[in-house]
Structure 1
């Protein structure tokens, strides 16, 4: 019997692809760093770049803007909470 194939979540694939896209490092360097094959990571990067180039559906524009606003607000609230935790200690 052969070894069981690894299974990666869609979020892991997007994150791995963004390590290449956002950092400007080579696919080979990132692939060896995270322990996956170069060809596999190359396919993930190509898919993510194609997905990023697609225009968002018309109904999603407002939802995307609100999501960005909520993420920023969430980050601010986390920083405030951390500050208050330290101040209370």
Structure 2
């Protein structure tokens, strides 16, 4: 029998996403702690990152094909 769809408040979602974005723990660990599915939390984090893509600084990764000087 399928589970009933649970509704989460915007504040709960925001706090859960902050735990992922600002911390170093994996989504699965945070989701388990909060009693939600890791896919659900992953979707919330992905949506947040899409909505705030311009807010985060660009990564500065060196090209490994270039020789180090």
TM beyond 0.5: yes
* Structure 1 match to 2:30: 30
- After superposition, the Cα gap between the structure-2 partners of 1:3 and 1:33, relative to the gap in structure 1 and judged at 3 Å, is same
Q: Distance in 2 between matches of 1:42 and 1:3?
A: 19
Unaligned runs of 5+ in 1: 56-89
Q: TM-score, normalised by structure 1?
A: 0.53
Unaligned runs of 5+ in 2: 56-69
Q: TM-score, normalised by structure 2?
A: 0.67
Q: How many residues align?
A: 55
RMSD: 1.9
Bigger share in helix: 1
Which is higher, the Rg of structure 1 or of structure 2?
Answer: 1
